[in-house]
Amino acid sequence: MMRWVVLIVVYVTIFFWYTNFESPLTRAEADSYLTLIRERGVDQERLAALTRFLYDDDGDDFVMVNLIDMRQEDPTKGGETPSQLLDRYMEYMWPSLILRACHPVVFSQGNFEALDIWGIDGAQKWSRFALMRYRSRRDMLEISTDPRFEGSHNFKIAAMHKTVAFPVAGGFGYSDPRWILAAVFLVLGLLRRRRD
């Protein structure tokens, strides 16, 4: 019996950490975040896209698709390598992400050139690919409007030659860790029961 209690308490704790129970962003709340971002000099096209994304908030989690092409390392210049610069960026990002139940879903190195391209210039090569799960749009904004982010973001800019990032929602329910963890805990509980 005690084992079930422990498993349930642990699962409920993780479930509440991982799940967004806050309401979607209001227009006023979104506008306050947009004001902070506008002050950083973001171009109007990106700001318009972000505005549409925030105004359309449904309160659910989403995944950010990231295509990254790292800068080439130049040994003659010395200093930090692109990978080291990206690591410095992630020194802020990792704790901020994990605190808000945001994490990579998939991360991989790009070893080959693109095989199918049309309507896009300069998209033949991508050195990294990542899917990053965000618990909510509010969580993403809390991370990106923190004053510490602006300084660390400069390391990301210095590390990358080019990047594309766009959000997608839905279609990831089958891989939701909450369902997987529930199944694992259920099996653990039943195995213990049989032994008893």
Q: Tell me if 181 is assigned to some domain.
A: no
The mean pLDDT of the chain is 89
Q: Tell me if 55 is assigned to some domain.
A: no
Q: Tell me if 33 is assigned to some domain.
A: no
Q: Tell me if 115 is assigned to some domain.
A: yes
Q: Tell me if 192 is assigned to some domain.
A: no
For residue 20, give the DSSP letter.
-
Contact (Cβ atoms closer than 8 angstroms) between residue 151 and residue 93: no
The domain that holds 75 is classified in CATH as 3.30.70.100
> pLDDT tens digits, residue range 40-88?
888 899 999 999 999 999 999 999 999 999 998 876 676 889 999 999 9
Centre a 10 Å sphere on the Cβ of residue 178 and count the other Cβ atoms it contains.
13
Q: What is the pLDDT of residue 169?
A: 86
Instruction: Measure Cα distances from 82 to 1, 44, 179, 196 in Å.
Output: 53, 28, 37, 55
Count of domains observed in the chain: 1
Nearest Cα residue to 58 out of 195, 169, 194: 169
Question: Average pLDDT for residues 97-125, to the nearest whole number?
Answer: 90
> pLDDT tens digits, residue range 150-175?
888 899 999 999 999 999 987 666 66
Q: Tell me if 153 is assigned to some domain.
A: yes
Q: What is the pLDDT of residue 75?
A: 65
Q: Tell me if 86 is assigned to some domain.
A: yes
What residues make up the domain containing 114? 61-169
Q: Tell me if 144 is assigned to some domain.
A: yes
CA–CA separation, 148 and 102 (whole Å): 18
